[in-house]
Copies of this chain bind each other. A is one copy, B any other.
Amino acid sequence: MRREYDIDLLIRKFKEKDKIALARLISIIENHPEKASDIFKNFNHIKHDSYIIGITGSPGVGKSTLTGAIAKRLLKEGKSIGVISVDPTSPFSGGAFLGDRVRMTEVSLDPNIFIRSLASRGYRGGISRAVLDITLLYEAFGMDFIIIETVGVGQSEFEIYNLAYTIIVVMVPGYGDAIQMQKAGIIEIGDIYDVNKKDLGGADIAAHIDMMLDDSTFQGGWRPPIVQTNSITGDGVDELIENIWDHKEHIELSDLLSEKKKIRFAYKIKELLYYKIDIVLESLINQDELNHITTKALENKFQIYDLVHDLFSDVKFERKSKS
């Protein structure tokens, strides 16, 4: 009863744009995903959409400083912003250098921005689920923009291209980053390429990406622009933001935006199905049994498939036919 009361109060505060209530609801959904449904049903009447920007790149390329620089510009234009950082080396999550963290703190004091970092390694599907839920909470809160910052090198559990509408791939000069990413096909996910730390050069890399893009075909006729920035001084950030507006307009006019939204929700639905199944699995098979077959697998590793098969053989799944 007490808990119910708390959530009702939080929802009321949340609707009054209370950032502490937002923070608490995020924590509740993260730690008690079973409560998400009860929380979200309070927002059924809200029709607000946020525009979701993804910023991805290797650790150390300056994604967080860039996020800070973009956020600063958007705040100046009167926009509200929700940031989600899923980079464990981000200054938002206590990583990186003191100077970065000071710059971030300066931005984060603005009442129109809220920053949440997910630094820890999640269990299976954990980070994805949390990120998706936080975007929904930001939308219910009425954020104009959501910026998701993520380490992206092709294998991350959380795949940003299922979630963001405009993706900025950030690189740095002199690291071979661009060429490495291009060869691996990772470069294909960018809607905008940013060569950051332009004080260290990077014109050659920008030219190289440009050449690579000559050989590509572009989704819906958008040729990704290449920008050079210095996220610390702010040099080039205006141009980057201009390019975000251009891309936003492009996907809105070409109806690609609704396609991207569809992908986002389909991904969320799949996550939720997996989550439900995880719960069922835990209730059906206990730790002792798992320990037992692990010991047996240690004795003869090649029978591992059969051991799991036997364990699973008396689990029955059924679906009542729809009435």
Residues of A within 8 A of B (CB): 36-37, 40-41, 43-44, 46, 58-60, 86, 88-89, 93-97, 119, 121, 124-125, 127, 136, 139-140, 150-151, 153-159, 175-177, 179-181, 183-186, 258, 261-262, 265-266, 268-270, 272-274, 276-277, 280-281, 284-285, 290-291, 293-295, 297-298, 300-309, 311-312, 314-320, 322
Contacts and interface: CB of A to CB of B under 8 A. Distances in A.
Among A177, A298, A305, max chain B CB count under 10 A is at A305
Contacts of A294: 262, 265-266, 269
Contacts of A125: 124
Contacts of A266: 290-291, 294
Contact of A298 (B41, B180, B261): B261
Given A155-B127, A181-B59, A183-B96, A300 B269 contact: no
7 contacts: A124-B125, A124-B274, A150-B155, A265-B304, A266-B294, A268-B297, A317-B317
A307 B183 contact: no
Contacts of A175: 60, 175
A155 B154 contact: no
A140 B302 contact: yes
A302 B265 CA distance: 11
Contacts of A319: 284, 314-316
A262 B304 CA distance: 12
B60 A300 contact: no
A96 to B, nearest CB: 6
Contact of A273 (B177, B295, B312): B312
Closest 7 CB pairs of A and B: A37-B305, A88-B184, A95-B183, A272-B308, A43-B302, A265-B297, A89-B180
